[in-house]
Structure 1
Amino acid sequence: MTSPSSAPVALTVAQARTRLGALTVLDVRTPGEYASGHVPGAVNVPLDRLPHAVDAVRDAAARRDVLVVCASGNRSRRACLLLAEHGVTAATLTGGTGAWAAAGHDLHRPAGSGVRAGWSMERQVRFTAGTVVLLGLLLGVLVHPAFRLLSAAVAGGLVFSALTDTCGMAALLSRLPHNRPRPADLDTALAALRDA
Protein backbone atom coordinates (compact mmCIF):
# COMPACT_ATOMS: atom_id res chain seq x y z
CA MET A 1 0.00 0.00 0.00
CA THR A 2 2.52 2.62 1.11
CA SER A 3 6.10 2.74 2.21
CA PRO A 4 6.82 4.00 5.72
CA SER A 5 8.45 7.16 4.35
CA SER A 6 5.61 8.25 2.05
CA ALA A 7 2.19 9.78 2.67
CA PRO A 8 -0.52 7.21 3.33
CA VAL A 9 -2.43 5.78 0.41
CA ALA A 10 -6.08 6.80 0.41
CA LEU A 11 -8.72 4.32 -0.70
CA THR A 12 -12.06 5.57 -1.95
CA VAL A 13 -15.23 4.12 -0.49
CA ALA A 14 -15.75 2.07 -3.66
CA GLN A 15 -12.21 0.65 -3.48
CA ALA A 16 -12.52 -0.16 0.21
CA ARG A 17 -15.97 -1.74 -0.26
CA THR A 18 -14.63 -4.00 -3.00
CA ARG A 19 -11.72 -5.16 -0.85
CA LEU A 20 -13.40 -5.06 2.58
CA GLY A 21 -13.22 -8.83 3.17
CA ALA A 22 -9.47 -8.82 2.52
CA LEU A 23 -8.66 -5.87 4.80
CA THR A 24 -8.03 -5.43 8.50
CA VAL A 25 -10.08 -2.32 9.28
CA LEU A 26 -8.90 -0.19 12.19
CA ASP A 27 -11.29 2.51 13.48
CA VAL A 28 -9.34 5.19 15.38
CA ARG A 29 -12.35 7.22 16.58
CA THR A 30 -13.51 7.46 20.17
CA PRO A 31 -15.50 4.55 21.62
CA GLY A 32 -18.68 6.67 21.47
CA GLU A 33 -18.19 7.48 17.80
CA TYR A 34 -17.39 3.83 17.05
CA ALA A 35 -20.48 2.64 18.92
CA SER A 36 -22.70 5.05 16.99
CA GLY A 37 -21.79 3.25 13.76
CA HIS A 38 -18.67 1.86 12.11
CA VAL A 39 -17.52 0.16 8.93
CA PRO A 40 -18.41 -3.55 9.14
CA GLY A 41 -15.65 -5.60 10.75
CA ALA A 42 -13.73 -2.59 12.06
CA VAL A 43 -11.74 -2.93 15.27
CA ASN A 44 -11.82 0.11 17.57
CA VAL A 45 -8.41 1.40 18.71
CA PRO A 46 -8.77 5.12 19.49
CA LEU A 47 -5.97 7.27 18.11
CA ASP A 48 -4.67 8.08 21.59
CA ARG A 49 -4.37 4.32 22.34
CA LEU A 50 -2.78 3.39 19.00
CA PRO A 51 0.84 3.53 20.27
CA HIS A 52 -0.07 0.64 22.61
CA ALA A 53 -1.42 -1.42 19.70
CA VAL A 54 1.40 -1.03 17.16
CA ASP A 55 2.72 -4.59 17.63
CA ALA A 56 -0.73 -6.13 17.14
CA VAL A 57 -1.37 -3.94 14.08
CA ARG A 58 2.04 -4.97 12.69
CA ASP A 59 1.09 -8.65 13.15
CA ALA A 60 -2.25 -8.06 11.40
CA ALA A 61 -0.51 -6.16 8.58
CA ALA A 62 1.71 -9.17 7.95
CA ARG A 63 -1.43 -11.16 7.04
CA ARG A 64 -3.74 -8.56 5.47
CA ASP A 65 -3.58 -4.97 4.26
CA VAL A 66 -4.66 -2.45 6.92
CA LEU A 67 -7.28 0.23 6.33
CA VAL A 68 -7.53 2.97 8.95
CA VAL A 69 -10.86 4.74 9.35
CA CYS A 70 -12.13 7.77 11.27
CA ALA A 71 -15.03 10.18 10.81
CA SER A 72 -13.58 12.25 7.95
CA GLY A 73 -10.04 11.05 7.22
CA ASN A 74 -7.98 13.46 9.34
CA ARG A 75 -7.34 11.18 12.33
CA SER A 76 -6.85 8.16 10.10
CA ARG A 77 -4.13 9.99 8.14
CA ARG A 78 -2.37 10.80 11.41
CA ALA A 79 -2.74 7.17 12.49
CA CYS A 80 -1.23 5.95 9.20
CA LEU A 81 1.74 8.26 9.68
CA LEU A 82 2.21 7.03 13.25
CA LEU A 83 2.08 3.42 12.07
CA ALA A 84 4.53 4.20 9.24
CA GLU A 85 7.01 5.49 11.82
CA HIS A 86 6.93 1.98 13.28
CA GLY A 87 7.29 0.28 9.88
CA VAL A 88 3.61 -0.59 9.49
CA THR A 89 1.98 0.23 6.17
CA ALA A 90 -1.67 1.26 6.13
CA ALA A 91 -4.16 3.12 3.95
CA THR A 92 -6.80 5.63 4.99
CA LEU A 93 -10.44 5.73 3.89
CA THR A 94 -11.14 8.91 1.92
CA GLY A 95 -13.92 10.79 3.70
CA GLY A 96 -14.08 8.28 6.56
CA THR A 97 -17.31 6.83 7.90
CA GLY A 98 -19.14 9.94 6.74
CA ALA A 99 -18.35 9.11 3.11
CA TRP A 100 -19.09 5.42 3.74
CA ALA A 101 -22.58 6.21 5.01
CA ALA A 102 -23.16 8.88 2.31
CA ALA A 103 -22.47 6.21 -0.32
CA GLY A 104 -25.38 4.22 1.12
CA HIS A 105 -23.37 1.56 2.94
CA ASP A 106 -24.46 0.33 6.35
CA LEU A 107 -22.65 1.24 9.53
CA HIS A 108 -22.64 -1.49 12.16
CA ARG A 109 -23.19 -0.94 15.88
CA PRO A 110 -21.70 -3.20 18.54
CA ALA A 111 -24.22 -5.26 20.50
CA GLY A 112 -24.79 -3.97 24.01
CA SER A 113 -23.07 -0.66 23.32
CA GLY A 114 -25.85 1.27 25.00
CA VAL A 115 -25.86 3.74 22.13
CA ARG A 116 -29.01 4.38 20.19
CA ALA A 117 -28.78 5.78 16.71
CA GLY A 118 -27.97 9.36 17.58
CA TRP A 119 -26.52 12.42 16.01
CA SER A 120 -23.14 12.31 14.38
CA MET A 121 -20.39 14.40 15.93
CA GLU A 122 -20.54 16.79 12.98
CA ARG A 123 -24.27 17.33 13.53
CA GLN A 124 -23.72 17.88 17.25
CA VAL A 125 -21.05 20.50 16.49
CA ARG A 126 -23.30 22.32 14.00
CA PHE A 127 -26.18 22.33 16.49
CA THR A 128 -24.02 23.54 19.38
CA ALA A 129 -22.28 26.23 17.33
CA GLY A 130 -25.59 27.48 15.94
CA THR A 131 -27.19 27.52 19.38
CA VAL A 132 -24.33 29.50 20.93
CA VAL A 133 -24.30 32.00 18.04
CA LEU A 134 -28.07 32.50 18.28
CA LEU A 135 -27.93 32.78 22.06
CA GLY A 136 -25.12 35.35 21.84
CA LEU A 137 -27.09 37.45 19.36
CA LEU A 138 -30.34 37.29 21.34
CA LEU A 139 -28.69 38.05 24.68
CA GLY A 140 -26.72 40.82 22.97
CA VAL A 141 -29.98 42.48 21.95
CA LEU A 142 -32.08 41.70 25.02
CA VAL A 143 -29.58 41.86 27.89
CA HIS A 144 -26.22 43.43 27.07
CA PRO A 145 -24.24 43.98 23.84
CA ALA A 146 -21.21 42.21 25.33
CA PHE A 147 -23.01 38.87 24.88
CA ARG A 148 -22.39 39.24 21.13
CA LEU A 149 -18.83 38.21 21.91
CA LEU A 150 -20.15 34.64 22.28
CA SER A 151 -21.09 34.70 18.61
CA ALA A 152 -17.73 36.18 17.66
CA ALA A 153 -15.89 33.51 19.68
CA VAL A 154 -17.76 30.70 17.91
CA ALA A 155 -17.08 32.30 14.51
CA GLY A 156 -13.38 32.54 15.34
CA GLY A 157 -13.37 28.92 16.49
CA LEU A 158 -14.97 27.79 13.24
CA VAL A 159 -12.37 29.66 11.18
CA PHE A 160 -9.56 28.16 13.30
CA SER A 161 -11.15 24.72 12.93
CA ALA A 162 -11.23 25.04 9.14
CA LEU A 163 -7.64 26.29 8.93
CA THR A 164 -6.20 23.57 11.16
CA ASP A 165 -8.57 20.74 10.18
CA THR A 166 -9.23 20.13 13.88
CA CYS A 167 -12.29 20.79 15.98
CA GLY A 168 -12.04 21.81 19.60
CA MET A 169 -15.80 21.78 19.98
CA ALA A 170 -15.94 18.16 18.78
CA ALA A 171 -13.21 17.28 21.27
CA LEU A 172 -15.28 18.82 24.07
CA LEU A 173 -18.54 17.25 22.92
CA SER A 174 -16.91 13.82 22.65
CA ARG A 175 -16.36 13.93 26.42
CA LEU A 176 -20.09 14.22 27.18
CA PRO A 177 -21.65 11.07 28.71
CA HIS A 178 -23.88 10.31 25.72
CA ASN A 179 -20.80 10.26 23.46
CA ARG A 180 -18.83 7.99 25.79
CA PRO A 181 -20.99 4.92 26.38
CA ARG A 182 -18.04 2.72 27.31
CA PRO A 183 -14.27 2.98 27.53
CA ALA A 184 -12.17 1.54 24.75
CA ASP A 185 -11.46 -2.12 25.42
CA LEU A 186 -7.90 -2.27 24.16
CA ASP A 187 -7.39 -5.90 25.19
CA THR A 188 -10.39 -7.03 23.12
CA ALA A 189 -9.24 -4.88 20.18
CA LEU A 190 -5.72 -6.35 20.34
CA ALA A 191 -7.13 -9.89 20.43
CA ALA A 192 -9.31 -9.12 17.39
CA LEU A 193 -6.28 -7.75 15.53
CA ARG A 194 -4.27 -10.90 16.33
CA ASP A 195 -7.13 -13.05 15.02
CA ALA A 196 -7.63 -10.93 11.87
Structure 2
Amino acid sequence: MANFIADQLQSIDATTLKQELDQDKITLIDVREPSEYAGEHIFGSISMPLSTFDPNKLPINNSKPFILYCQTSNRSSQAAQKLFAAGFKNITHLQGGLNAWKQAKYPTIVNKNVPISIMRQVQIIAGSLVLIGTLLGAFVSPNFLFLSGFVGAGLLFAGITNTCMMAQLLAKLPYNQRV
Protein backbone atom coordinates (compact mmCIF):
# COMPACT_ATOMS: atom_id res chain seq x y z
CA MET A 1 0.00 0.00 0.00
CA ALA A 2 1.01 3.64 -0.30
CA ASN A 3 3.36 5.18 2.24
CA PHE A 4 1.49 7.56 4.51
CA ILE A 5 2.70 10.99 5.59
CA ALA A 6 0.50 12.92 8.03
CA ASP A 7 -1.71 15.61 6.47
CA GLN A 8 -0.63 14.79 2.93
CA LEU A 9 -2.88 13.23 0.37
CA GLN A 10 -1.37 9.96 -0.74
CA SER A 11 -2.09 8.27 -4.05
CA ILE A 12 -2.53 4.63 -4.88
CA ASP A 13 -2.46 3.21 -8.40
CA ALA A 14 -5.20 0.99 -9.83
CA THR A 15 -3.11 -2.20 -9.67
CA THR A 16 -2.27 -1.77 -6.00
CA LEU A 17 -5.87 -0.84 -5.23
CA LYS A 18 -7.10 -3.99 -7.00
CA GLN A 19 -4.75 -6.13 -4.90
CA GLU A 20 -5.89 -4.42 -1.67
CA LEU A 21 -9.56 -4.89 -2.61
CA ASP A 22 -9.06 -8.54 -3.54
CA GLN A 23 -7.48 -9.14 -0.13
CA ASP A 24 -10.30 -7.20 1.62
CA LYS A 25 -7.73 -4.88 3.24
CA ILE A 26 -9.42 -1.54 2.55
CA THR A 27 -12.74 0.28 2.51
CA LEU A 28 -13.31 2.00 -0.85
CA ILE A 29 -15.33 5.23 -0.88
CA ASP A 30 -16.75 6.69 -4.10
CA VAL A 31 -17.25 10.48 -3.80
CA ARG A 32 -18.98 10.92 -7.16
CA GLU A 33 -22.64 11.93 -7.27
CA PRO A 34 -25.39 9.31 -6.80
CA SER A 35 -26.32 9.14 -10.49
CA GLU A 36 -22.69 8.54 -11.45
CA TYR A 37 -22.32 5.85 -8.81
CA ALA A 38 -25.58 4.21 -9.90
CA GLY A 39 -24.41 4.19 -13.51
CA GLU A 40 -20.99 2.66 -12.85
CA HIS A 41 -18.81 1.97 -9.85
CA ILE A 42 -16.11 -0.32 -8.52
CA PHE A 43 -17.52 -3.43 -6.85
CA GLY A 44 -17.59 -3.13 -3.08
CA SER A 45 -17.31 0.66 -2.97
CA ILE A 46 -19.50 2.82 -0.74
CA SER A 47 -21.18 5.94 -2.14
CA MET A 48 -20.49 9.17 -0.21
CA PRO A 49 -21.05 12.02 -2.72
CA LEU A 50 -18.82 15.08 -2.44
CA SER A 51 -21.87 17.39 -2.60
CA THR A 52 -23.08 15.97 0.74
CA PHE A 53 -19.75 14.66 2.05
CA ASP A 54 -19.62 14.63 5.84
CA PRO A 55 -16.40 13.38 7.48
CA ASN A 56 -18.43 12.47 10.59
CA LYS A 57 -20.43 9.90 8.60
CA LEU A 58 -17.38 8.07 7.29
CA PRO A 59 -17.69 4.31 7.83
CA ILE A 60 -14.59 3.89 9.95
CA ASN A 61 -13.20 0.43 10.55
CA ASN A 62 -9.99 0.63 12.57
CA SER A 63 -8.73 -2.60 11.03
CA LYS A 64 -9.17 -1.31 7.45
CA PRO A 65 -7.97 2.00 6.06
CA PHE A 66 -10.23 3.75 3.56
CA ILE A 67 -9.39 4.94 0.08
CA LEU A 68 -11.30 7.63 -1.82
CA TYR A 69 -12.00 7.70 -5.53
CA CYS A 70 -13.99 9.67 -8.09
CA GLN A 71 -13.89 9.89 -11.89
CA THR A 72 -10.48 11.55 -12.33
CA SER A 73 -9.18 12.12 -8.74
CA ASN A 74 -10.20 15.79 -8.52
CA ARG A 75 -13.24 15.32 -6.30
CA SER A 76 -11.47 12.73 -4.16
CA SER A 77 -8.81 15.39 -3.53
CA GLN A 78 -11.54 17.82 -2.47
CA ALA A 79 -13.08 15.20 -0.15
CA ALA A 80 -9.61 14.59 1.32
CA GLN A 81 -9.30 18.32 2.10
CA LYS A 82 -12.57 18.11 4.04
CA LEU A 83 -11.18 15.14 5.94
CA PHE A 84 -7.93 16.97 6.74
CA ALA A 85 -9.96 19.96 7.97
CA ALA A 86 -11.89 17.57 10.23
CA GLY A 87 -8.64 16.29 11.74
CA PHE A 88 -8.12 13.11 9.74
CA LYS A 89 -4.60 12.08 8.80
CA ASN A 90 -3.18 9.63 6.26
CA ILE A 91 -5.75 10.07 3.50
CA THR A 92 -5.29 8.07 0.28
CA HIS A 93 -7.09 8.29 -3.05
CA LEU A 94 -7.01 6.42 -6.34
CA GLN A 95 -4.70 8.31 -8.69
CA GLY A 96 -6.59 8.96 -11.93
CA GLY A 97 -9.86 7.77 -10.39
CA LEU A 98 -12.31 5.47 -12.11
CA ASN A 99 -10.77 6.40 -15.46
CA ALA A 100 -7.43 4.90 -14.38
CA TRP A 101 -9.22 1.82 -12.99
CA LYS A 102 -10.97 1.22 -16.32
CA GLN A 103 -7.81 1.98 -18.29
CA ALA A 104 -6.13 -0.83 -16.33
CA LYS A 105 -8.99 -3.06 -17.61
CA TYR A 106 -10.41 -3.80 -14.16
CA PRO A 107 -14.14 -4.56 -13.96
CA THR A 108 -16.87 -2.19 -12.86
CA ILE A 109 -20.54 -2.62 -12.04
CA VAL A 110 -22.51 -0.94 -14.86
CA ASN A 111 -26.20 -0.03 -14.90
CA LYS A 112 -27.45 1.27 -18.26
CA ASN A 113 -30.81 2.39 -16.79
CA VAL A 114 -29.64 5.60 -15.09
CA PRO A 115 -29.58 9.25 -16.18
CA ILE A 116 -26.73 10.32 -18.44
CA SER A 117 -23.52 11.41 -16.71
CA ILE A 118 -23.15 14.86 -15.22
CA MET A 119 -20.36 15.75 -17.66
CA ARG A 120 -22.51 14.80 -20.66
CA GLN A 121 -25.30 16.94 -19.20
CA VAL A 122 -22.82 19.84 -18.90
CA GLN A 123 -21.67 19.36 -22.51
CA ILE A 124 -25.27 19.31 -23.81
CA ILE A 125 -26.32 22.40 -21.86
CA ALA A 126 -23.13 24.39 -22.53
CA GLY A 127 -23.19 23.51 -26.23
CA SER A 128 -26.87 24.46 -26.48
CA LEU A 129 -26.29 27.80 -24.75
CA VAL A 130 -23.34 28.65 -27.02
CA LEU A 131 -25.34 27.70 -30.13
CA ILE A 132 -28.42 29.67 -29.01
CA GLY A 133 -26.29 32.70 -28.06
CA THR A 134 -24.51 32.63 -31.41
CA LEU A 135 -27.72 32.25 -33.46
CA LEU A 136 -29.54 34.97 -31.51
CA GLY A 137 -26.44 37.18 -31.80
CA ALA A 138 -26.32 36.70 -35.57
CA PHE A 139 -30.04 37.03 -36.31
CA VAL A 140 -31.62 39.07 -33.49
CA SER A 141 -29.10 41.27 -31.67
CA PRO A 142 -25.32 41.17 -31.21
CA ASN A 143 -25.97 41.58 -27.47
CA PHE A 144 -26.89 37.88 -27.32
CA LEU A 145 -23.26 37.01 -28.07
CA PHE A 146 -22.66 37.77 -24.40
CA LEU A 147 -24.37 34.45 -23.57
CA SER A 148 -21.85 32.51 -25.68
CA GLY A 149 -18.96 34.44 -24.17
CA PHE A 150 -20.25 33.83 -20.64
CA VAL A 151 -20.54 30.08 -21.21
CA GLY A 152 -17.10 30.03 -22.87
CA ALA A 153 -15.59 31.83 -19.87
CA GLY A 154 -17.24 29.30 -17.55
CA LEU A 155 -15.79 26.41 -19.54
CA LEU A 156 -12.36 28.06 -19.50
CA PHE A 157 -12.58 28.49 -15.72
CA ALA A 158 -13.68 24.85 -15.35
CA GLY A 159 -10.73 23.68 -17.43
CA ILE A 160 -8.19 25.75 -15.53
CA THR A 161 -9.46 24.97 -12.04
CA ASN A 162 -10.79 21.45 -12.73
CA THR A 163 -13.99 22.57 -10.95
CA CYS A 164 -17.22 22.84 -12.92
CA MET A 165 -19.91 24.95 -11.27
CA MET A 166 -22.52 23.82 -13.81
CA ALA A 167 -21.80 20.18 -12.93
CA GLN A 168 -22.13 20.95 -9.23
CA LEU A 169 -25.51 22.61 -9.85
CA LEU A 170 -26.73 19.77 -12.08
CA ALA A 171 -25.73 17.24 -9.43
CA LYS A 172 -28.28 18.79 -7.08
CA LEU A 173 -31.23 18.21 -9.46
CA PRO A 174 -33.66 15.53 -8.26
CA TYR A 175 -33.16 13.19 -11.24
CA ASN A 176 -29.42 13.15 -10.54
CA GLN A 177 -30.05 12.24 -6.88
CA ARG A 178 -31.94 9.01 -7.60
CA VAL A 179 -29.89 5.90 -7.03
TM over 0.5: yes
1:123 and 2:127 equivalent? Answer: no
Query: Which residue matches 2:78?
Result: 78
* CA distance 1:124–1:102, shift in 2 (3 Å): farther
Which residue type is aligned with residue 130 of structure 2? V
Query: Which residue matches 2:32?
Result: 29
* CA distance 1:50–1:91, shift in 2 (3 Å): same
Over aligned residue pairs, what C-alpha RMSD do you find? 2.2
1:134 and 2:131 equivalent? Answer: yes
2:5 aligned to which of 3, 6, 22: 3
Question: Secondary structure of 2:29's partner?
Answer: strand
Mind listing any 5+ residue stretches in structure 2 that lack a counterpart?
none
TM-fit CA distance, 1:2: 2.0
Q: Could you report, residue by residue, the CA deviation over 1:23-52 in whole angstroms, capped at 9, with x for unpaired residues?
A: 210112222222121111111122333222
Question: Secondary structure of 1:127's partner?
Answer: helix
Aligned length: 173
Query: Which residue matches 1:192?
Result: none
User: Contact 2:133/2:148 (CA < 8 Å) preserved in 1?
Assistant: yes
Mind listing any 5+ residue stretches in structure 1 that lack a counterpart?
183-196
1:87 and 2:88 equivalent? Answer: yes
Whole-Å separation in 2 of the counterparts to 1:103 and 1:150: 40
Query: Which residue matches 2:14?
Result: 13
Query: Which residue matches 2:108?
Result: 107
Whole-Å separation in 1 of the counterparts to 2:16 and 2:129: 40
User: Contact 2:35/2:115 (CA < 8 Å) preserved in 1?
Assistant: no
1:145 and 2:142 equivalent? Answer: yes
1:163 and 2:160 equivalent? Answer: yes
User: Contact 2:115/2:176 (CA < 8 Å) preserved in 1?
Assistant: no
TM-score w.r.t. the length of structure 2 is: 0.83
User: Contact 2:31/2:68 (CA < 8 Å) preserved in 1?
Assistant: yes
Whole-Å separation in 1 of the counterparts to 2:77 and 2:64: 19
TM-fit CA distance, 1:118: 4.4
Whole-Å separation in 1 of the counterparts to 2:39 and 2:149: 32
- Structure with the largest fraction of helix: 1
Whole-Å separation in 1 of the counterparts to 2:6 and 2:156: 33
User: Contact 1:4/1:84 (CA < 8 Å) preserved in 2?
Assistant: no
1:53 aligned to which of 42, 52, 57: 57
Deviates more, 1:8-17 or 1:94-103: 94-103
Question: Secondary structure of 2:67's partner?
Answer: strand
Query: Which residue matches 1:179?
Result: 176
Identity of paired residues, percent?
33
